[in-house]
Amino acid sequence: MKRIKSVLVAASMVLATFAIGTAAQSILIKPEQKDISNPVIQNTNFDVEITFWVFEGEGCACEPIIGAYINATGSEGADYNITDEDGKCVLTLVVFGEYKVTIEAENFHTVAFNFDVVDHQTFKFHVGEVISNDSQNLLQIQQIIQTLSQFLKNIKEKINALS
């Protein structure tokens, strides 16, 4: 019987200590100090890796562009990096953020676009080489010479056919 009383007294002391602790917590801790957030429904921002591949050329003949500068700026911040020897670059951006991305490489056309980060994403770009006005003029002159050469060849064949 004494043993049952001892067990009941011990259990009562444990319950009393718990009740006193709970009451003290609610009295001593201010409401603004209490963590009442629910991690399941709380909108949590976290970072994801966005991978960019930048190439010149098309199809199987494409080559990676080394050292292309890639910059992303947006509502959640910014990140930038350059492409490696494989034409690969990874930026760390905040999921659900809105970003403007710019890809720049010397002697190549700049690529700029907006996108929303939804998960780990991969982008592949084949960018064109910038042709200077001198190079463009040279190409046009070569095309004109080829056209004139073909025209003169056709005239020569018609003259020979008449003879």
Taking the domains of the chain in order of start, what are their residue ranges? Answer: 2-33, 47-127
The residue behind tokens 């043993």 is 3
Any idea what the Cα angle at residue 51 is, between residues 45 and 55, rounded to 5°? 155
Q: What is the pLDDT of residue 75?
A: 85
User: How large is the average pLDDT for residues 74-81?
Assistant: 91
- The count of residues in the chain is 163
Token code pair at residue 105:
């490489």
Q: What is the pLDDT of residue 81?
A: 96
Residue 8 pLDDT greater than 60, yes or no: no
Q: What is the pLDDT of residue 40?
A: 46
Confidence band of 29 (pLDDT split at 50, 70, 90): low
The fold for domain 47-127 equals: Immunoglobulin-like (2.60.40)
pTM: 0.54
Q: CA nearest 73: which of 111, 113, 45, 106? A: 113
Token code pair at residue 157:
């064949």
Q: CA nearest 65: which of 100, 101, 110, 99? A: 110
Buried b vs exposed e over 80-98: b needs ≥16 C-beta within 10 Å?
A: ebebeeebbbebebbebbe
Residue 163 pLDDT greater than 90, yes or no: no
Say if residues 89 and 81 touch (Cβ distance below 8 Å).
yes
Bridge pairing between strands 63-64 and 69-74: unpaired
Among left, alpha and beta (phi > 0; psi -120 to 50; other), residue 12 is: alpha
